[in-house]
Amino acid sequence: MEKFAGGLYTTSVEAFIPNTGRGIQGATSHCLGQNFAKMFDITFENEKGVREMVWQNSWAYTTRSIGVMVMTHGDDKGLVLPPKVAPIQVIVIPVPYKDADTTAIKGACESTVYTLDQSGIRADQDTRENYSPGWKYSHWEMKGVPLRIEIGPKDLANKQVRVVRRDNGAKVDIPVTNLVEEVKVLLDEIQKNLFKTAQEKRDACVHVVNTWDEFTTALNNKKLILAPWCDEEEIEKNVKTRTKGELGAAKTLCTPFEQPELPEGTLCFASGKPAKKWSFWGRSY
C-alpha cells in the first residue's frame, strides 16, 4: 500500500467513476509521526515541562474532487450540482407570453429573488430579452443549477411559481406564500437524492472476488474489486505487471476501515498465500 515517504501510514478518501471503471483519490491524510521532527529538531514543552519531539500530520482535500463531482452527477444535458456546493441554487426565469404584462412579471421575478436571498438561498434571475425562455432553460440546465423557477402570466394570476428540479426534471407549482419553506425542502431532497443515486451506482460497481480469474474478469468489466490480499508489496507489484495493458495496470486503491469478515483459511487472490485483509483494487487516474 502506498504511503507518504518517511511517514508512518496514510489514509485516503477514494472515489470511483462507474462510467470509466477507474478510481480517483479525493483526499489524503498522512501520519508523519516524529520522523521529521527528529530530522529538523522540532520540539515542544509538554505539561510536565519536559521537551519532546512533536508529532506531525499532513492532509489535503484535492481539487480533483470537483472533477469527481462533475463526472458522478453530470448527465447529457450538462452539470448537475448538489445544492450545498452550487454557486446559484435557484435561477428565476420570466416567461412572458404575447401581450403579457412584462413589467409585472419582471417585478415578480425580482421579488422572488429578493425573498430567497433574504432567507439564505443563493438565487439569481435571467431577464435577458434577446434569448427565449426555452434557450434559458437549456442554458441553466447545462450549468447545473439545482432549481429553476418559471414565472408567467398564469403564475401571477394564481399567486404561484412553477419550480423545476434539475436532478429529475420534476415540476411543481408552489404558492408564493410558501415559497421559501418549500424551496428549502426541495433543495434538501435534491441533495439527498443525488447522494443516494451516487451511492447506489458505486455499490452496484463493487464486485467481490476470491480468485485471479474472477479478478481479471471483474477488472475488464470496469468494476471496483474487493479481494482478499496477503498484504505484501511484491504481490501488488506483480499484479500491476500482470494486468498492464491498453487500459492500464490495476493496483490497490485502498483498504476499507470496516473490514468484512475474513474466514479462516481464506487465500490471497493473487498469490495463494494466507490472506490478511480485504482491499479494494482497480484501475485509477
Name the residue type at position 57: N
Q: What is the pLDDT of residues 119-153, one digit of tens each?
A: 999 999 999 999 999 999 999 999 999 999 999 99
Report d(CA 43, CA 214) in Å as an integer: 51
**pLDDT at residue 257 above 80?**
yes
What is the model's pLDDT at position 80? Answer: 98
Contacts of 93 (CB under 8 A, 6+ apart): 109, 125, 126, 133, 136, 137, 140, 148, 149, 150, 151
Q: What Rg value do the Cα atoms of the chain yield, rounded?
A: 26
DSSP 8-class letter at 127:
-
Q: The C-alpha cell of 203 is what?
A: 455499490
According to DSSP, the β-strands at 22-33 and 9-17 are antiparallel
pLDDT digit string, tens, across residues 48-101? 999 999 999 999 988 889 999 999 999 999 999 999 999 999 999 999 987 778
Give per-residue pLDDT as tens, 13-46.
Answer: 999 999 899 999 999 999 999 999 999 999 999 9
CA 202 to each of CA 64, 230, 271: distance values in angstroms, whole numbers, following the listed order: 18, 25, 27
How does residue 1 score in pLDDT terms, banded at 50, 70 and 90?
low
Residue pLDDT, tens place only, 191-247: 999 999 999 999 999 999 999 999 999 999 999 999 999 999 999 999 999 999 767
Helix (H) / strand (E) containing 9: strand 9-17
Measured at the alpha carbon of residue 265, what is the angle toward residues 260 and 269, in degrees to the nearest 5?
70
279 Cβ contact partners less than 8 Å away, ≥ 6 residues apart: 1, 226, 227, 229, 231, 252, 253, 254, 255, 256
Q: What is the pLDDT of residue 246?
A: 66
Side-chain-side CA neighbours of residue 147 (13 Å): 31
DSSP state of 167: T
User: Between β-strands 56-61 and 22-33, what pairing exists: parallel, antiparallel or unpaired?
Assistant: antiparallel
In the chain, what's the furthest Cα-to-Cα distance? 83
Domains of the chain, earliest start first: 1-75 (no CATH), 90-190 (3.40.50.800), 204-285 (3.30.110.30)
Q: What is the pLDDT of residue 5?
A: 85
What pLDDT is recorded for position 112?
98
